[in-house]
Amino acid sequence: MASSASLMSSSLPPSALEILPNIMAAIGRTPMVRINNIDKKAHLQCEILAKCEYFNASGSSKDRIAKRMVEDAEAVGRIKPGDTLIEPTSGNTGIGLALVAAMKGYRCIITLPEKMSLEKVNILKALGAEIIRTPTEAAWDSPESHIGIAKRLQAELPNAHILDQYANPSNPLAHYDGTAEEILDQCDGKVDMVVVGVGTGGTISGIAKKLKEKCPDVIIVGVDPEGSILAQPESLNDKNRLRPYKVEGIGYDFIPDVLDRNLVDKWEKTNDQESFIMSRRLIREEGLLCGGSSGAAMAAAVRAASTLKSGQRCVVILSDSTRNYMTKFLNDAWMYENKYVENSVHTRENYSKYRKDTGTWWSEQRVSVLKLPHPSTVPPHLSCAAAIETMEHHGYDQLPVVNEHGIVQGVVTIGNLLSMLSSGRVRRTDPVEAVTFGNFSRVTHESSLADLATIFDKDYFAIVASTDGLIAGLATRIDLLNYITSAHK
C-alpha cells in the first residue's frame, strides 16, 4: 500500500514538483478551475471555467508581460542591468516589473494614478520601486498623467527606458505564446468562448489571435467598465462616458496600440457595483480570492454565456487577487460608503443600526447638531500658493474647492499640496484644480452621526452639502470628538 506521503505527492501538478531557479520561473502555468455555483444560480447551460491568473508570482496576469518585455528588450540589447526602467501603470504591471527588476538588477520607477490602492503602492515600495502618484482625473495625454510623467522622466534620466506596455508587441506576445497555449492545453483544445477584462488590450489580443487560429469558431468577449471608451460600437460607451470608476486594471480613455479590437467579437460593459459584488461572490461561493476586475469579467461572462448550450465551454480570465484590495471592496464599510453594498452584507438601515447598537448615546443625532460654520472655500482657478496662504491664515488642513455656481468640485488638502509641490508635479502658480481630490465623502445635515463616524473610520473629513449640491459645511474628526466630549446625554 502506498504511504500517505506518496499519495499526497502524486496528487500534485508536475509544476509543483520542481525546484525553480528563481521566482520568475513561477510566472505562468496558472490553474484552470471549474465554476460550480455561480453558473447554476444564473441557470447557465454551458460549463464555466476560471483561469486563475492571480497564481502568478506577484499575483496577476501582468507578471507575464513584465517578464517578456524585459527579456525581449535584453535580447536585442536595448536594456542592460543597472539601467532605469520606468512604467506608467494601474499597478499590476508595475508590481510585475518591479519584481523582475529586483531579480535582474534594474532601477525601477513606477508612475500610477492616485485612485490605485494603497496595497499596490506598499508592495511596489517593498520590491524596491520608486513611486510617483498622478491625478486620477488627468487625461492620458496631459503632462500630468501617469503616462506624461513617465515620458518626462525618461527624457531627464540617463539610461532610462519606458518599455511601454501600451505599445510594446511583447505584451500580446506573452499571452499569444503563454496564456493562450495554456488555455488550449487545459481545455484539450475545446474552447467556445473566452471572456477577458480589457485594459492595455494585450491579454485579449494575444489570447484571441492564438485561439482564433486553433479554434476558428471561438467567441472572444471583451469587458470594458462604464466610463471607459474601449468598447465597440462606440455607442456602448455613452453611459457615464469618461466618468471616474473605481474598478482597477481595466478600461482607458484612449485606445492602446496593442489592443486589436478586430479580434473581439462582442463587448460587455460593466459597472462598479456589479463588478465588486461579483468579486465577493467569487470569494464566498467559489473560494476564488480574486480582485475587482475579475468580478467584472465574471459578471460579463454570466450575461455573454447565456447564449451557449450544454456541452459548450466558456473560459473567464481572473486577472488578479484580493491582496491589492483589502481596504476596498473586501471592506464592508467601504462597500456601504460607496453604495455598492449587497443585502447579504449590510443594508443602509442595518449598517446604521450596527453603529447605533454599540451603546453610543450620540449615534442617532444628526450632523446639524455639530453647528458647523459655513466653511472657507477656494475657487478652482486659485493658485496653489494662495490656497496655502488661506490654509495658514485659518489653520485648516483642507479646503473645499467650489465653482462659481457654489457646487463642490472636490477638496484640496495640505498633504496633497505638499506631495505634489515637493515632487515637482505642480508649481506654486498652478491652479488648485490640478491638486483637487474629486472623490470625497459627502453627508447632509440630516445624516446621522453614526454615518459620519463610519466615514471617519477611513477619512479625515466629510463635506456637508445640501440636496442640490451646494456646500453647507466641512465636518472633521475633531468636530465629532468635540461634540461627544462636550455635550451631555
Closest CA to 201 of 254, 149, 155, 238: 254
- Residue 465: strand, helix, or coil: strand
Grid cell, residue 119, equals 496595497
Of the residues 40, 51, 62, 214, only one is catalytic, namely 62
Q: What is the signed CA dihedral for 442, 445, 451, 452, rounded to 10 degrees?
A: 70
Strands 84-88 and 160-162: parallel
E strands, 379-428, are 398-402, 408-413
CA dihedral over 415, 420, 423, 424, signed as positive or negative: negative
Whether 336 and 346 have beta carbons less than 8 Å apart is answered as yes
DSSP-based helix, strand, coil % in the chain, nearest 5: 40, 20, 40
Closest CA to 94 of 72, 120, 133: 120
- Residue 381: strand, helix, or coil: coil
**What's the per-residue H, E or C state across 188-250?**
CCCCCEEEEECCCCHHHHHHHHHHHHHCCCCEEEEEEEECECCCCCHHHHCCCCCCCCCCCCC
Residue 62 catalytic?
yes
DSSP assigned state of 11: T
DSSP β-bridge partners for residue 100: none
- Residue 331: strand, helix, or coil: coil
Active site residues: 62
